Homo-oligomer: A and B are copies of this chain.
């Protein structure tokens, strides 16, 4: 979900076109950023491949040298950005000892990644939900990696005895993801008129303590 700022992505991330591992070229990244911008502005279905090409400064046909089709653009945005998020999360979490702090950091990373890239946030929270086909793939590959990181934080906390053992980590991970996702969607639909990351502390409060008295 979360993602670094565009330019950084372009320069440091090796990514997958349609899932196949293939080094992102300079041009490929340019096209992907153009797609994010155009999809965010016009919506995936209204967006024309020709618009993406123009925004990227290439000919229409060039898009198809790097992406199989329009769908592949959308999927590649997801895969590319998830890779960035996952890599960043893994690196940064490794430096944190307290599972509660890890969880807080994870939530902050999720939300700040989207807050820093409004176009990407729109694509992730709105456009990416469009096809069943996508949703089904979505819930497997990259999202599974995302969930794994979250579950590992929770399981580490259970072993450390700072998180309760029940309900199980898988369910808790879904609840936390559901909440973060809902926060992000609300922020996007509210036209970003508040700091998305300001949600981190209240969320942690709920997750850690519950609402009961």
Contact = CB atoms under 8 A, between A and B. Distances in A.
A147 to B, nearest CB: 10
A139 B171 CA distance: 26
Interface residues of A, number: 49
A34 B17 CA distance: 32
A203 B175 contact: yes
A163 B206 contact: no
A178 interface: yes
Contacts of A185: 135
A166 B205 contact: yes
A181 interface: yes
A213 B178 contact: no
Contacts of A171: 199, 202-203, 206
Task: Tell me if A's interface is mostly helix, strand, loop or mixed.
Answer: helix
B43 A206 contact: no
A154 B210 CA distance: 13
A131 B177 CA distance: 22
A208 to B, nearest CB: 4
Contacts of A144: none
A20 B140 CA distance: 40
A163 B203 contact: no
A207 B122 CA distance: 28
Given A129-B130, A183-B178, A209 B212 contact: yes
Nearest to A184: B178
A211 B208 contact: yes
Contact of A213 (B45, B122, B164): B164
Contact of A174 (B172, B186, B211): B186
Interface of A: 43, 45, 100, 122, 126-127, 129-133, 135-136, 139, 154, 157, 161-164, 166-168, 171-172, 174-175, 177-183, 185-186, 189, 199, 202-203, 205-213
